[in-house]
A = this chain, B = another copy of it.
Amino acid sequence: MTQNIYDNDAFFSGYSQLPRSVEGLDGAPEWPALRAMLPAMRGLKVVDLGCGFGWFCRWAREAGAASVLGLDVSENMLTRARATLPDPAIVYERADLDRLSLPAGSFDLVYSSLTLHYLENLKALFAAAHRALVPGGHLVFSAEHPIYTAPSHPGWSKDKTWPLDRYLEEGPRSTDWLAKGVIKQHRTIGTYLNLVLEAGFTLTHLEEWGPTDAQIAAHPEWATERQRPPFLLVSARR
């Protein structure tokens, strides 16, 4: 089973104070770009892989989704999600996403935000997602960009460049982010996309996300993110 760092008290405490935890989707700078890749939500049956505090689940319902299943491995996050604005059409369940099992042909949208880079078995996850979708159903996900996860020392150099190495060396990376020894799985863009294609999906869009000019005007400190993209956004259809 993948490391469940969100149930580490120090990590959870730090994570709970991030803008995206306090402000929800509006605190996630990549959200407008990811939202633009989503289908019209009205009437859709949705599953959110790595739902966290449930911000996306609640947004999906407000946008007209018929039902939302939010899955997460973290009891900490599910407890808080369940306590926020209860809605009978949103169900939160604990799940090990490395052993994902979903009923066949039951969803119109499989969504996942910044979760897949923690998982070890994406081949099985994309196969389960494909099986769970109706024909024509949508897969939309974000993950940390491989340029971001690859390096031995992922931090800016003195000359303001990003010291890339180990890009083609896929596998676990241990980083100290909010807590010591957080384990992420580094994969290339090629691996992400080929796994999606081999599961039977058709790729519809790929975005290597960086802040827009307007976002940099509002947050000048984000400008460095354009030197190397922090996130990968992908959409595909069954």
Q: Which residues of A contact B (CB under 8 A)?
A: 147, 151-153, 157, 159-169, 188-190, 193-194, 197, 202-208, 210, 226-229
Could you tell me if B227 and A208 are in contact, using CB atoms closer than 8 angstroms?
A: no
Task: Check A159 against B167 for contact (C-beta < 8 Å).
Answer: no
> Is the Cβ of B169 less than 8 Å from the Cβ of A226?
yes
Contact check: which of B160, B193, B226, B228 meets A206 at CB < 8 Å? Answer: B193
Oligomeric state, in number of copies?
2
Q: How far is the CA of A123 from the CA of B226 in the complex (A)?
A: 23
Interface contact B161-A164, CB-CB below 8 Å = yes
Chain B, residue nearest A163 (CB): B161
Q: Is the CB of B168 within 8 A of A226?
A: yes
CA distance A180 to B177 in the complex (A): 43
CB contact between A194 and one of B153, B190, B206 (< 8 Å): that residue: B206
Bound together, the chains give a CA A165 to CA B163 distance in angstroms of 9
Other 11 A-B pairs with CB < 8 A, given A168-B208, A188-B208, A193-B206: A147-B167, A153-B161, A161-B165, A163-B163, A164-B227, A165-B228, A189-B189, A190-B208, A193-B203, A197-B203, A202-B202
